[in-house]
A and B are shown apart, each in its own frame.
Chain A
Amino acid sequence: MHGFANPARFLRLARQLTVPLLLAGVVLAGASLVWGLLGAPAERLQGDSVRILFVHVPAAWLGMGGWSAIAIASLTELVWRHPLAGIAARAIALPGAFFSALCLVTGSLWGRPAWGTWWVWDGRLTSMLVLLFLYLSYIALSDAANRDGDGQSRIPAIFGLVGAVNIPVIHYSVLWWNSLHQPPSITAGKSEMAPEFLWGLLAGSAGFSLIFGAVVLIRMRAILADQQAEARLRRRAMEAIDA
């Protein structure tokens, strides 16, 4: 893990991986969405609205997966002081917030024809909304820490760890409380989903995950480039003062 503590080594790898990850993600996610629109059959109870699954479920997984990754990066930063862990967490926050918002909006668009309502304040929907607010708070906190604390990110890291409490709440909310939302159709090693939905969904989730990974690399490259430019300008300013 500390092999990538050197930003120059990380940047070399990131430059090689960014475009292939992005292209593979676009192909897989695109194929899944085309299948969802044109190939998948209408479902017996939900009718055509089930096609929203191919956007909604990958967005939900990535919203939750993004925060899990922030929590792991935060722990890595706090315990092992890995220099890229805080940068990775900052880079994850924006796509994580986007996919959480996409999950909420597409869920609402699915809820209207399937449940007859855009929104209910039940455990699943509310905890997912809380996740979006956690992301927005994390983005504000890490931006402020970066601006005011010269790259210090201990407070956002602690926030990233504490916020992870919400992830099991989202996952188990449909089991703990009454909800219009259905319980999980896919659990470890078991699926109650018909193959024509399952394979398309898995392809879409893999594709959107690759796009997510590419965006994280892109943002890490941007944050590192900003830090390098800032450090250089600061050094020049100090040299000018000394001279």
Chain B
Amino acid sequence: MREGLDHWPFIWAAYVLGIGGTAAMVLWAWLGMVRAESRRDRSRER
């Protein structure tokens, strides 16, 4: 361990990236699915 180096900025950065990145990936995948399924449903109606 390097003495004198505050660990908390590194910890916060890791948690923010982990939580934010995972949430963004889930949201992006979900929106992609909603778009694809509505496109399929529209193609059914035509």
> What count of chain A residues pass the 8 Å CB interface test?
43
Q: Nearest-CB distance from B6 to chain A (Å)?
A: 8
A236 to B45, CA, bound (A): 12
* A37 neighbours in B (Cβ, 8 Å): 11, 15
A48 to B14, CA, bound (A): 13
- Interface residue SS majority, chain B: helix
Q: Which 9 A-B pairs have the closest CB atoms?
A: A55-B18, A225-B36, A222-B33, A222-B36, A48-B7, A225-B40, A229-B40, A49-B7, A106-B14
Tell me if A89 counts as interface (CB < 8 A to partner B).
Answer: no
17 contacts between A and B (CB under 8 A): A33-B15, A37-B15, A47-B7, A49-B1, A49-B7, A49-B10, A55-B15, A106-B18, A110-B14, A113-B10, A116-B2, A215-B29, A221-B33, A222-B36, A226-B36, A226-B39, A226-B40
Q: Mark A41-65, 1 if CB is under 8 A from B, else 0.
A: 0000111110110011001000000
With contacts A48-B8, A113-B5, A215-B29 known, is A55 near B14, CB below 8 A? Answer: yes
Task: Flag if B30 contacts A105 (CB, 8 Å).
Answer: no
A226 to B38, CA, bound (A): 10
Tell me if A232 counts as interface (CB < 8 A to partner B).
Answer: yes
Task: Flag if B1 contacts A45 (CB, 8 Å).
Answer: yes
* A59 neighbours in B (Cβ, 8 Å): 18
Task: Flag if A222 contacts B32 (CB, 8 Å).
Answer: yes
A33 to B10, CA, bound (A): 15
A222 to B46, CA, bound (A): 20
